Amino acid sequence: MGKYILKRLFSLIPIIIGISIIVFLIIHLVPGDPASIILGNNATPEAIKALNAKLGLDKPLIVQYFDWVVHLIQGNFGTSVQTDQSVLPTLINKFLVTFQLTLLSVLIGWIIAIPLGILSAVKANSVVDFILRIISMLGISIPNFAIGTLLLLILSVYFGWYPPIDYVNFWDDPISALKIFILPAITMGIVLSAGIMRMTRTSFIETLNKDFIRTARAKGNPEGTVIVGHGLRNSMIPIITIGGMQIGYLLGGAVIVEQLFSIPGIGQYILNGIYHRDFPVVQGGVLFISLIFVFVNLIVDIIYCWIDPRIKY
Amino acid sequence: MNKKLLMSLLLLVCLSLTACGGNHGTSSSKGGDQLVIAADQDPVGLDPQTVPAASSSRIYSLIYNSLTKINSNFEIEPSLASSWKVSDGGKTITFNLQKGIKFQNGKEFTSDDVKYTFNRILDPKVGAIAKSYFTSIKDIQTPDKNTVVFHLNNPDSAFITNTSSVYTSIISKDVKNLNKEAVGTGPYKLSKIVNGQYVLLKENTDYKLEDKPKIKSIKFNIMKDDEQRLAAIRAGKVDIATLNSDSASLLSKSKNIKIKKYQSMEYSYLGINNDKKPFNNIKVRQALSYVIDRNEIIDTVWKGKAELTGPISPAQKEFAADVKSFPSYTQNLSKAKELLKEAGYPNGFSTVIQTASTYPDMVDTAQVLQQQLKKIGINAKIEQLEWGKYIEVWKSKKMDLMIGRNTSGSDPDRSLRFFFATDGSANVWNYSDNKFDKLVQSALQTTDSNARKNFYQEAQELLVNQDAANLFLASPINYYAVNDRVSHFTPSAAGEAYALLNATLK
């Protein structure tokens, strides 16, 4: 197992190099330079030139790339062109916000999805199953910003309620933090739950037809024990796979939901960076997210072993 | 153990849900002395001389003062200058400064700071927005610490109005990084900026000028989404929010909220490359002007919440031409066809309209124009550009047609010379007309205000009717939603800071 993790970590190196080159090229080849966006329409060519020189953007691309990589290796992600803040600490800060939101969303998603998915499987092809499948179809089809906007407007119009407008961290003020996170988390949770529910149903139906379930029933176990004790654990692998992928995506920042609810997460940070051609933020941010994504996949693989001891690497 | 963890997490979620339901019905926000404004964008830097973004200027205009300021009737009032005198046939302007004013870092404000500010504005390396306002300056003298004398190369009738611009905010000569440090003489001090979250301003208790603020602190909370601002003002979480006209009409029946509107200084236009075929032919441009129906744009894009406009926004009543009387402002298809035929394009031609995808009204305008141009056989393809790319195309001077928005500025000199003179800094349209150049130059150099008005009148007619250099479309009405807890907040084209300084909180 240890050897496997080590191997996976080593295989990250070429991935990171590849990502760094792609990210760097894409953002530098997009038209529009930061100086003219910062200075706006009224800027003189001299001012643009001066700012470009200050930002080091007048050097050849290849030199700029190696400058960046050398700094990266030293743990220096650079400073934001827009705010003069150091990129890495800001990224970590924003990531922690996104992380909290992701956890709560996934929690809500799973709490809705798994019981309903199991119900749907146990009552397969009944009216209940039919209704649940329609609901999950709806959940997949409705875009999350629509759900979010509806929640906000309905709560403010009919209940005069709006989440606190100042962001606080969970560890500073848990109650306020929950009030801030609850709407975006429900919004994303609903969308997540649809996918998980469908996967749970499929996976469960398959498991329930297996021989060991028949054996468990034949031994006279109560139905509850059969479903939760024997069925659930054996159906978890595909659910975990989908869940892991969802978490990976969410940790990359749910841009629209973050924007709608003013959550200062990583998605908004990078999107803003793109708008302002803030090269260090975009390069550092995308690299960071890629690493997280790869890392989450690794964790998912490790969880497989824990859920199903038959899996060995 | 796992079950316990799951249960406690479940409990947390339930708790938070009940917490949500608990406090509905409370209407007013924080209470006390803090005014909360829902801002749609983060400030992108706070240097008043180089950052023109509205999200920045609405903040630094509360932190800094200029030599003069403008009131809601476009009259010039004293600010850091207590009085001024024009002499030497308009070529010398002497400002007497207020005494005993301090910067927020405790340093005294003197004529040296004024000189430093204007030298910085004129320094080409800085790239100041207001540099083109002050091309007439020959030199600046400071005979004593409360007097500044500007010697000009030629009389400049826009000079004093231009000293009221926020882009000429007086900065302290001791502050180096203006994007990070905001140290002005103004009514508010910068207390805290949390990126993506809020900007907090606190009252400057040492403030001595007349427009002393009545509210202790102002907080700009960043809410980028229109629906979000709508929900927040409805629930009373914020006191003031800027909204589009659709959202404003939704709120018109709400209790505790008033809608305030004003004619903006902005206008939308169809930019035309005067140098590129077929638009280098004056008849083609005139044909465009006759085929489009500006009222349809106002009705569909702005839902009627905008005014017809020329190159000077109708907010500037004194100088804006009465565009309704211009013949080309009434759609005339046969005339348009005839002009196009005379120009040698009886069957029309194909072209491209470029627009910025960031602004829905600009995209909508492009679509309406596309339909209207079809009526005389002009097939326009719409290209939506991301903002960075859009600015690049705008600067390239190589576009065909382009939808855009201008702020016409508080002096007509800016509205006309800056955007359309042959050497105007923002003339990206390759428009060049000797007569126009002479008119705006004469207007600048005359000291007779009636003559000035006539020059600008003639220049507008030339630009719009004769040359059809650009097509000026609509000047929108802007909306604020204001909680009843705020009184005396009267937004106008004089700027948000002006209205905020008069506002009080219940």
Whose CA is closest to B166, among B242, B94, B95, B70? B70
From the candidates B3, B8, B13, which should be mutated to test the interface with A, based on the most A CB atoms within 10 A? B13
Residue A90 burial by CB count (10 A; 0-12/13-18/19+): exposed, middle or buried?
Answer: buried
- What CATH number has the domain bearing residue A301? 1.10.3720.10
Contact residues on chain A for B229, CB-CB shorter than 8 A: none
Query: Does a structural domain hold residue A2?
Result: no
Contact residues on chain B for A272, CB-CB shorter than 8 A: 42, 196
Selected residues 16-55 of chain A with any CB under 8 Å from a CB in chain B: 30-33, 36-44, 46-48, 50-51
Does any CB of chain B come closer than 8 Å to the CB of residue A10?
A: no
From the candidates B120, B225, B243, which should be mutated to test the interface with A, based on the most A CB atoms within 10 A? B225
Domain B64-168 in CATH 3.90.76.10: yes
Residue A138's pLDDT band (cuts 50, 70, 90): confident
Phi/psi of residue B93, nearest 5 degrees: -125, 120
Predicted confidence (pLDDT) per residue in A5-48, tens digit = 888 788 878 888 888 898 888 888 877 777 777 666 556 667 77
What whole-number distance in Å separates Cα of residue B380 and Cα of residue B372? Answer: 10
Interchain CB distance below 8 Å, B234 and A179? no
Whose CA is closest to A256, among A145, A179, A117, A116? A145
* pLDDT of the residue at B6: 47
Contact residues on chain B for A168, CB-CB shorter than 8 A: none
Q: Flag whether pLDDT at A287 surpasses 50.
A: yes
Selected residues 183-242 of chain A with any CB under 8 Å from a CB in chain B: none
Instruction: Quote ipTM for the complex.
Output: 0.76
Supply A47's token pair.
């001012």
Contact residues on chain A for B387, CB-CB shorter than 8 A: 32, 37, 275
What whole-number distance in Å separates Cα of residue B34 and Cα of residue B191? Answer: 13
Average pLDDT over residues A84-90: 87
Selected residues 79-118 of chain A with any CB under 8 Å from a CB in chain B: 82-85, 104, 107-108, 111
Interchain CB distance below 8 Å, B44 and A30? no
Contact between residue B118 and residue B134 where contact means Cβ atoms under 8 Å apart: yes
* pLDDT of the residue at B21: 37
Closest Cα of chain A to B19: distance in Å? Answer: 7
Closest Cα of chain A to B135: distance in Å? Answer: 14
**Lowest-pLDDT choice from A264-268, A302-306, B79-83, B360-364:** A302-306
CATH superfamily label, B266-476? Dipeptide-binding Protein; Domain 3 (3.10.105.10)
What whole-number distance in Å separates Cα of residue B380 and Cα of residue B349? Answer: 8
Nearest CB among B198, B231, B394 relative to A41 is that of B394
Does any CB of chain A come closer than 8 Å to the CB of residue B222?
A: yes
* pLDDT of the residue at B2: 47
Residue A40 burial by CB count (10 A; 0-12/13-18/19+): exposed, middle or buried?
Answer: middle
Q: Where are the alpha helices (DSSP H) in B380-472?
A: 387-396, 412-413, 419-420, 434-445, 449-461
Whose CA is closest to B473, among B408, B396, B404? B404
Interchain CB distance below 8 Å, B131 and A44? yes
Average pLDDT over residues A87-91: 91
Contact residues on chain B for A281, CB-CB shorter than 8 A: none
Phi/psi of residue B123, nearest 5 degrees: -70, 115
Does any CB of chain A come closer than 8 Å to the CB of residue B22?
A: no
Query: Does a structural domain hold residue A257?
Result: yes
**Residues in chain B with pLDDT < 70?**
1-32
Size of interface A-B (CB pairs under 8 A): 160
Contact residues on chain A for B357, CB-CB shorter than 8 A: none
Query: Does a structural domain hold residue A22?
Result: no
Query: Does a structural domain hold residue A6?
Result: no
Partners of B93 in the β-ladder: B86, B150
Task: Determine the residue of chain B that is closest to A103 in CA distance.
Answer: B9
* Domain of A108, in residue numbers: 87-307
Contact between residue A282 and residue A273 where contact means Cβ atoms under 8 Å apart: yes
Query: Does a structural domain hold residue A250?
Result: yes
Whose CA is closest to A133, among A222, A186, A195? A195
Supply A9's token pair.
């970590």
Interchain CB distance below 8 Å, B235 and A178? no
Residue B173 CB coordination number (10 Å): 16
Predicted confidence (pLDDT) per residue in A145-197, tens digit = 889 999 988 898 888 888 888 888 888 888 888 999 999 999 999 888 988 99
* pLDDT of the residue at B95: 97
What whole-number distance in Å separates Cα of residue B288 and Cα of residue B157? Answer: 34
What's the number of domains chain A is made of? 1
* pLDDT of the residue at B25: 35
What whole-number distance in Å separates Cα of residue B343 and Cα of residue A16? Answer: 59
Q: Flag whether pLDDT at A285 surpasses 80.
A: yes
* pLDDT of the residue at A39: 67
Considering chain A, what is the average pLDDT of its residues? Answer: 85
* pLDDT of the residue at B14: 42
Contact between residue A148 and residue A162 where contact means Cβ atoms under 8 Å apart: no
Contact residues on chain A for B234, CB-CB shorter than 8 A: 156-157, 160, 162
Average pLDDT over residues A217-226: 87
Query: Does a structural domain hold residue A256?
Result: yes
Contact residues on chain B for A107, CB-CB shorter than 8 A: 9, 13
Query: Does a structural domain hold residue A53?
Result: no
Contact residues on chain B for A161, CB-CB shorter than 8 A: 20-21, 23-24, 235
Interchain CB distance below 8 Å, A160 and B27? yes
Task: Provide the residue ranges of all domains of chain B, joining segments of one domain with +.
Answer: 64-168, 266-476
**Sign of the four-CA dihedral B96, B98, B102, B107:** positive
Query: Does a structural domain hold residue A302?
Result: yes
* pLDDT of the residue at B284: 96
